[in-house]
Amino acid sequence: MSKSLADQLAGLGLANKKQIQKDKAEKRKQEKLARKHKIETVDESKAAVEKARKEKLEKDRQLNLERQEALKKREVMAQVKQMVMHAKLNLDDGDVKYSFVDQTDNKVKSLYVTEQIQKDLAMARLAIASVEEKYFVIPKNMADKIAERSEASIVFIAANDSSQVDDDDPYKDFVVPDDLMW
């Protein structure tokens, strides 16, 4: 049979019988007080384990939320891609260079389009969408539907603010056409 810790300490000469009896008496007093006052002794190791378990659950919950957000974002981008591919206009026979500012990186980009598509883009009847770093011309109503899902996918829609003319502008009577080529 193995010896108790107190017996082992006494055997090594680290504790004497008086100290051992004093420690046992103190332990009995603590237990008696705990029973009398119904005080629960807090086990620190159990509390630490419980705290670690709760922290792990919270961390797992956060990771799960991040995964769900990423999945939702991929689903939305797949929907946007499908909508753009379905509604895109054919630009194969385009011979007019149409320049626009990509709102995602504020750089001037250009597409070759037909004259009719150029006019429709200038009049805001058409829009330019970006999917996987490629640009497509789509109808304005489809661009509005795509913008509801992903605002960043719509790169360009012409602004119709020609109705706001400054009264002090000396050139207000001279209208610059939208399809002016330099």
Domain ranges of the chain: 41-160
- Residue 163, token pair as written in the block: 């109705």
Distance of CA 79 to the CA centre of its chain: 18
Asked if 98 and 123 count as a contact pair (C-beta separation under 8 A), the reply is: no
For residue 126, the SS3 value is strand
pLDDT digits 0-9 by tens, 127-171: 999 888 888 999 999 888 888 888 888 887 877 655 555 667 777
pTM of the model: 0.55
CB within 8 A of 39, min separation 6: which ones?
A: 33
Which residues are registered as beta bridge partners of 107? 102
- Residue 53, token pair as written in the block: 């378990």
Quick one: average pLDDT of 70-91? 90
Q: Say how far apart CA 6 and CA 13 lie, in whole Å.
A: 11
Q: How far is CA 154 from CA 54, 81, 102, in A?
A: 43, 11, 9
Quick one: average pLDDT of 15-34? 85
Quick one: average pLDDT of 62-73? 95
pLDDT the model gives residue 31: 83
pLDDT digits 0-9 by tens, 82-115: 988 998 888 878 888 888 888 778 888 888 998 8
Q: What mean pLDDT value characterizes the chain?
A: 83
